Structure 1
């Protein structure tokens, strides 16, 4: 039997005719029998969408005839379709900066645009085409180059498949993006409209990349910079010799800057966001640009300074969470795109046998962002915003996430009688033990991913502590925290009502050298990470309603960014103005020797001087509540009252609802003399204790509005005919309670109460 005849390759004109009749249309069926159609099909499958864009340089093929050049341009026209740039990005820049945006040269945007939308393997396809087009070869040479490029793309697609190895065992949920604006063609992200995307072959493009990276805060902060200025910043951060200065922001008021150089606060970045984040951000932000609040707040985050913001409120919650979720997603997308770009460079260099030098773009492990939150309801809101910003076509395990984190259908209405801040904190799922990982792909987001294959970790301190283990023991695993570049701790005031020791423990586990390699490619790890200096590149953001010594300790000891630090120092008007009960409020300063003995001095003063006076007054007036902020003080006083045989009840966060109910009834009926009450009990339950005639603040509460709430409880006396002269309020404080006193009496009066020669003040 004679051998079959080898099929003849189609000519360029035949290919053009096939395309004109739709048989080679890249947007139609992928069932063509020719090599170029297979290549297009593979590229579209690789991108995960029904569009495929790029560019093939035909400008250099000037030796061909005009007709042939037109044929080639028509053949690859689907890779050169560019639309006008949308004005959404320009509007966003205008909203971020109060000054007019500087005119940007087209070359400055080149590196960013290619970085945003180019996929792995796309550069090799362009480079191979250009190389063949420069020769005067026939049509077979063009198709041969396409076949070679197709094989490389298929090989990379197989590698991508291995990375998602276990995805098949997860649920796949289609995402309804109908509420989001439709995506433009890939070419829409090209700001300058340059047809030639093969940027890596010219010296001018190399300079363009350096100019752009020099203007991007992320690139400059995480670059392997060995300059003298970087060493000076490192010396200042390691020795804590910051150049402190005061600044006054129109929105936030006074703030303290800790600078590592003479630069101070920088001007907002001209290109703060990835282009594909702009439209999702507008949707998440209720269709608007940066608000007056978000504009300076996001600028601080974008400069990679450590930020401690202690003026959080429920009214600003949506703006705050949107700002830091946008910053986290922007950081991860920039880092992942840089890695994909470098992967393409390496593949191209290996194919041509060239050396591209060091490409260091990652840490020891994959996770880059850690977000700590107190309850699942907070995690639900933040993760939902991250998913909207990712605007993925598929979300793995989103149904499971809705079931485990979403609000329940049969929520109780008992909280409606509680204050507004209580309802906002405890709405929805309030489980405090959780951890979830988000893995980002080009068109897919996977929830519940394994930590070593995760980009963003959202967890509670206790939930993550269950993974990292205790201080001693065999069950320890915190290598996945070795390359964290951004830590966001939101609602620190709520975390303080849980167990702050877990937060301190997690900070001690960050950016340590891992015990195992976990498949790390050390040739791609940043030099500063290999040298153990990753903690000076990490950005820490702490958000709270108020400042406490615990937060200040983390700020002083664990916030070490090379770019410096910012601490907001708000001016307080004092919650004492919210007291409506007509009762004298006596503030007494307790003399203490030093900070280490302040707790002992306070306890000695109370048991020796205050408690005996209370015992004498009990003969005539019972109904006294003793309030403590610290649980350690609560236990110490409880044990002392037990030893002395006093008739009292103790209500803490560990008291059951029935125990607290019986104690309140006995107190109201006068069967007992004292109620020992703890701040955490008030935080978690807000018990309406009735029948209070005297309230004694052994220590002031951290939540300043608790003071006015508790004093106003004096209005609900056990005797409706009780006169105001039978009611009393006494507060004990020390000179180390400056933060608490300032929030309650106001910034202006606090210094007088703390430093004056007088030790007693009365407010009425």
Structure 2
């Protein structure tokens, strides 16, 4: 635990109370026994108080865009009710030019408590408008981008056609879509949907492959796009037209191999969108300054400045995205870079060859999942740790962003900085499923809401669809996951509602029930009936206790080998129910058992594994999240019972083929006697498909061929 940071007087900024939070899972040694997942079901009282809005830096922000005179009185009246005492008159001060990589205000502490409300800035600072700041001046030597009427940015954001926009919004209000399905060699199964209007067609969404150089990029991004184009695969080139046409994307084929390409495309798209928006605002501001009496109206902004939100699972993932952005943007200066390096970067771990690639990608380096970071661009500078309301991009984990919003305190709750997000990029969504999914839901529920405070907004420049509370229908959402689940399908159906349409992509699964195993293991899949998802837990428990437990609790014959049954339970709630059954039910009173969950301390895990291996425990209960975070190698497994189908298909082969195969190789069990039993209902169809294959899953979910299926 690090000591609290000392209070300091920061040059060019107000005095602030600085605190360092010591969080569970936040600072860990890199030895394997000490690695603990951050399990974030609830907040304790001390965790809820004094949470910052962002990892804000100490530098002050200047602004160049002044609201029109008619709106100054309105903004002042709105801000007056939220300030106490006399507000000091704002005045411009000369901004100190920082030539060093890090400003003098850089601090070691990870979080900084901002004691000033956003409506009451200190003397010498001016509020930052939604579009740009004083540093965002037009470079006279920069290449000039001519407006292209076919550019999706111009069609959707800059110059939308009122009638077309109205028709699409009306179709979304009626939840009316035109659908199209296709099978792409590069993308797999593709389902495209667009708002159902007279001219709607989903064909434009999947029009084949496209080079990044043809993606309506600003001229400054053409050269970086050329650099990365040669590293992209046909899959990335097929995704390019979908992403750059601003369609929502739910991609269920993310792998360690294609992750870098997805990161490059999404970062390039985000930078292209940010700079197009900024340049549009600056050019219109220059026109207004030159022709003040024309009465021309420019609607080119949102309520607040942040336009892009990256939802990532770990700090190491944030580091990878920031490295990609800096490689693409090549800024002349990077403010607060050292602070970012100190708080986000750690040496990547060497887990050994026994750990799979997806585990090493997720947990190597800094695997803390409680963070947020504001990033701001000016003409020559990339600034880390900018205030959220002054940022162009917000990087955050779902847990870190929920803490920043302070949703558990109604008086302190603040999520206005999410009101004008136009692009959400969510990577490694499958890993987020292993945490508290409610945090993800909270973030999406608070996107693009009407702000509670003005935050220096010039309402005469706000786009009309923001004022009409339709911003969520202009937002693009990109979700990358290794596989699809009902939770991700819920995001697709509920929160992906863009007028540009949406696409769901998932791979066809050939299904390999232990085809990689050197031993032909018997695998029995048993279907039980559950009328609805809500009835599934009770039906599952009843089937387990009546159909499978008797075989596990049958007294062993004298001289017989230990039972050695590993019971894999994906859900922690189901795990608690089964553990209580083995601890207190009369039917299991003669069975010794151990339990390993994500909450079990290291000492208890060692004891349970040891007792299971030497036969003192006949049954070992093992949770899905424990395997996700630890990838334990459990010895002594003679049979496997899967209480539910794991969402991650890799878990199936690692547990069944890996654990049982190791026992066969060690001579603990004969290959003919080793067996795996898997329980499933029709609500497990998506997870089951990834294991048995797309061709088999249909008949296994139907009632025409019985409810037991054997594989070898």
TM-score, normalised via structure 1 length: 0.71
Residue 628 of structure 1 corresponds to 569
Instruction: Note if 1:586 corresponds to 2:524.
Output: yes
Q: CA deviation at 1:694?
A: 1.0
Match of 1:501 among 438, 446, 454: 438
Supply the distance in 2 between the matched residues of 1:384 and 1:159 (Cα, whole angstroms): 33
Deviations 1:22-51 (A, max 9, x none): xxxxxxxxxxxxxxxxxxxxxxxxxxxxxx
Residue 708 in structure 1 maps to residue 634 in structure 2: no
* Residue number in structure 1 paired with 2:51: none
CA gap 1:394/1:412 in 2 versus in 1, 3 angstroms? closer
Q: Verify the 8 A CA contact 2:526 2:708 in the aligned structure 1.
A: yes
Are 2:303 and 1:361 aligned? no
Give the direction of change, closer, same or farther, for the CA distance of 1:459–1:720 in structure 2 (3 Å limit).
same
Q: Distance in 2 between matches of 1:590 and 1:163?
A: 69
For residue 373 of structure 1, report the CA deviation from its aligned partner: 0.5
> 3-state DSSP class of the match of 2:524?
strand
1:338 to 280, 294, 302: 280
Matched, 1:375 2:314: yes
| C-alpha displacement of 1:301 | 1.0
Note closer, same or farther for the CA distance 1:218–1:159 as it changes in structure 2 (3 Å cut): farther
Which of 408, 418, 427 is the aligned partner of 1:490?
Answer: 427
The answer to which of 272-281 and 306-315 deviates more is 272-281
Query: CA distance change for structure 1 residues 500 and 466 in 2, over 3 Å: closer, same or farther?
Result: same
Matches within 5 A, 1:553-564: 553-564=490-501
Distance 1:417 1:571 in 2: 27
What pairs up with 1:209-608 in 2 under 5 angstroms?
Answer: 212-223=147-158, 225=160, 227-260=162-195, 261=197, 262-266=200-204, 270=214, 272-283=216-227, 285=228, 288=230, 291-350=233-292, 354-408=293-347, 412-471=349-408, 473-576=410-513, 577-608=515-546
Counterpart-to-counterpart distance in 2, 1:673 and 1:359 = 73
Any stretches of 5+ residues in structure 2 without a counterpart?
1-63, 66-90, 108-138
For the 8 Å contact 2:251–2:505, the answer to whether it is kept is yes
CA shift, 1:650, in A, is: 1.1
Question: 2-side partners of 1:511 and 1:564: how far apart?
Answer: 18
Indicate conservation of the 8 Å contact 1:692/1:714, yes or no: yes
Per the alignment, in what secondary structure is the counterpart of residue 263 of structure 1? coil
Q: Which runs of 5+ in 1 are unaligned?
A: 1-119, 122-156, 173-184, 192-208
**For 2:506 and 2:317, how far apart are their aligned partners in 1?**
25
Change (3 A) 1:748 1:541: same
> What CA deviation, in whole Å up to 9, does each residue of 1:555-581 have, x standing for no partner?
101111011110013210113233433
Q: Give 1:187 shift.
A: 5.7
Conserved in 1, the CA contact under 8 Å of 2:349 and 2:365?
no
- What is the aligned residue count? 571
Indicate the residue corresponding to 2:580 in structure 1: 639
Cα distance in structure 2, aligned partners of 1:481 and 1:169: 29
Q: Distance in 2 between matches of 1:618 and 1:550?
A: 42
How many angstroms does 1:296 deviate by?
A: 2.0
Aligned partners of 1:230, 1:474: CA distance in 2, in Å?
Answer: 37
**C-alpha spacing 1:271/1:254, structure 2 compared with 1 (3 Å):** closer
Change (3 A) 1:580 1:493: farther
Aligned residue number for residue 76 of structure 1: none
Match of 1:105 in 2: none
The match for 1:726 is 673
- Structure 1 residue corresponding to 2:683, chosen from 728, 736, 750: 736
Distance 2:668 2:237 in 1: 55
* Structure-2-length-normalised TM-score: 0.76
Q: Is the Cα contact below 8 Å between 2:155 and 2:161 reproduced in 1?
A: no
Distance 1:580 1:549 in 2: 33
Coordinate RMSD, CA, aligned: 2.6
Identify which range, 572-581 or 698-707, moves more after superposition. Answer: 572-581
C-alpha separation in 2, matches of 1:725 and 1:254: 38
What secondary structure sits across from 2:705 in the alignment? coil
Match of 1:540, SS state, is strand
Which whole-Å deviations, capped at 9, do the CAs of 1:115-137 have from their partners, x for residues lacking one? xxxxx99xxxxxxxxxxxxxxxx
Higher mean C-alpha deviation, range 521-530 or range 613-622:
613-622
Q: Where in structure 2 are the equivalents of 1:95-106 lying within 5 Å?
A: none
Q: Any idea what SS the aligned residue of 1:311 has?
A: coil
Q: Aligned match of 2:636 in 691, 698, 715? A: 691
TM-superposed deviation, 1:230 = 1.9
- Partners of 2:407 and 2:569 lie apart in 1 by 29
262-271 or 738-747, larger mean C-alpha shift: 262-271
Alignment check: 8 A CA contact 2:187 2:238 kept: no
Give the alignment partner of residue 548 of structure 2, picking from 600, 607, 610.
610
Q: CA deviation at 1:293?
A: 2.5
Rounded to whole Å, the distance in 2 between the matches of 1:272 and 1:163 is 34
- Report matched runs for 1:177-196 at 5 Å: 189=143
Note if contact 1:375-1:460 (Cα within 8 Å) is conserved in structure 2. Answer: yes
Superposition deviation, residue 297 in structure 1: 1.1
Cα deviations across residues 51-100 of structure 1 (Å, max 9, x unaligned)? xxxxxxxxxxxxxxxxxxxxxxxxxxxxxxxxxxxxxxxxxxxxxxxxxx
Matched, 1:649 2:603: no
In 2, distance between residues paired with 1:232 and 1:529?
Answer: 17
**Is the alpha carbon distance of 1:721 and 1:171 closer, same or farther for their aligned partners in structure 2, counting shifts above 3 Å?**
closer
Query: In 2 relative to 1, CA 626–727 (structure 1 residues): closer, same or farther, beyond 3 Å?
Result: same
The answer to whether the Cα contact below 8 Å between 1:298 and 1:324 also exists between their aligned partners in 2 is no
1:429 shift after superposition: 0.8
CA distance in 2, matches of 1:618, 1:728: 17
- 8 Å contact 1:224–1:526 — kept in the other structure? no
Q: In structure 2, what is the Cα distance between the partners aligned to 1:168 and 1:724?
A: 65
Partner of 2:113: none
| Selected match of 1:660 from 592, 605, 609 | 605
Larger RCO, structure (CA 8 Å, separation 6 or more):
2
2:629 matches 1:717: no
SS of 2:192's equivalent in the other structure is strand
SS in 1 for 2:179: strand
Distance 1:628 1:545 in 2: 21
- C-alpha spacing 1:249/1:673, structure 2 compared with 1 (3 Å): same
